[in-house]
Amino acid sequence: MHEWLHQAAHLLDNQDNLDGAAVQRQLEDLLATVQQQQEKVAVLADAVEHFVKVTANYLPGLFHTYDVPDLPRTNNDLEQCFGSVRWHERRTTGRKGTVPGLIVRGPVRVLAAVASKRLCFCVQALQLHDPQAWHSLRHQLSYRHEARHMEFRFRKNPSAYLAALEDMLIKGSLPT
């Protein structure tokens, strides 16, 4: 069993720089071998069954990293990136919790924070090239901002907020 685990780790490490389909075939072959020779390790039958089941569940999304350049194999780098953005936001604002602006303008702020660490932007890179995409993004941000504003109004005076909402619903359902 120990040897099979090491073989699986070696295949997923992909020292031969194979594409995703080739790595998937090799891992599927290993899993077939493990299932065929499962009686050799009868004491660990439950562990072998669990290993095969869990690995088979992960197979569909496991091999994209071999086909897309610079895609990390685990989400640890991505988690670290988001954690770093949250830490910097908290540090610059002095807040202990999540910064509301990060919730409202999350996609823009996270993208800016990540990109500014990796790239130095020139004036041409900052120019607007797709006005439609910019307008769409602005619309999404204003929608989030309005939703956040409504949450504040609800927390400030729940009964007045609900009464106004009921009035809108009743007026909207009545014939004119």
Q: How many domains does the chain have?
A: 1
Give the model confidence (pLDDT) of 32-45 as tens digits: 888 888 777 777 77
Residue 18 lies in a domain: yes
Residue 122 lies in a domain: no
Which region holds residue 173: left if phi is over 0, alpha if psi is between -120 and 50, else beta?
A: alpha
Residue 150 lies in a domain: no
Give the domain range for residue 27.
2-67
Q: What is the pLDDT of residue 176?
A: 60
Residue 156 lies in a domain: no
Query: What is the b/e burial string over 132-148, where b = at least 16 CB atoms within 10 angstroms of the residue's CB?
Result: eeeeeeeeeeeeeeeee
Cβ pair 85, 115 in contact under 8 A: no
Q: What is the pLDDT of residue 86?
A: 77
Residue 20 lies in a domain: yes
As a whole number, mean pLDDT of residues 132-155 equals 82
